Structure 1
Amino acid sequence: MDTPASSHPVITRLLTMPPVQAMQLRLAGFDADTLCLAAPLAANVNDKGCAFGGSLTSVMTLAAWALLSMRLEDAGHRADVYVQDSSVRYLAPLYGDLHARAWLEDGQTWNEVLDAFAAKGKSRARMEAEIRDPAGTLCCTFSGRFVALAPRD
């Protein structure tokens, strides 16, 4: 995908991380509310021929991290974003490429997250993500709390 989001500094930073390179991750879509990352099954397969659970979790976590990081950066904030805690549910094996979609959890707004960071130099966000197979079957879900902190430099 060659879009303005493809060359976003957050995506550039993400795609240069060695573990991310090994997964062959790529940006598959972005709008103001959701971010999608994709990775080929061939680089993320387990001994059963389906997607490796660690790859599923990583792609969902990274999609949520990237969305929050991009929203903060696009609002003019320098922030270090960390996953604070998360929960993953594996619902069905995935025998195709990984496509994770992430969004801000219902009940929060981007204005709340961004305004808190602007006022205090820190913010928390609850993020959701999912991976579905090509037929639309939900394979796994992610729910996580992220914290954004002003850099210490």
Structure 2
Amino acid sequence: MSWTTRRAEPRSDTAAQPAPTTPAIAHGAAVASFLAGLWLVMAPFALRYQSAEDGFDRHWTSVLAGSVVLVCSLVHAMAPRETPWLLPVLFAVGAWLVVAPLVTRYPVAGHAAANDSVTGAVVVLATLSSAAAALRRGPRLRLRDRP
């Protein structure tokens, strides 16, 4: 009795189909948002945000917004076509970070206002570029359209 292994022949129906790709801009925007979220979580501790006299700790704005940006950008990077609803969430969080220093009256002497505004602008720009890339890609696939 002879034991031989037989090589599996590649199936012609799967070999002809290219793997779905996502434009590099969308991946770059997701990475930028993820890094911005990571920085927002770490910034209050790295820059030693000042506590406010009015009892509102500004570092929680950065930590909470950064956590939302981290999770949303990671999920959107993994499945951009299935999670287009995360782009408005990321945009809203980024816009909040831009205006939060004005609304909550951050201390002028601290780094928190500039850091949150600049990082929020990065999140907004990354979200807009990701949305533009999604519009160029065309309509997203529905579950029933998948092979």
TM-score of the pair, normalised by structure 2: 0.31
Higher share in helix: 2
Q: Considering only CA atoms, is the larger Rg found in Structure 1 or Structure 2?
A: 2
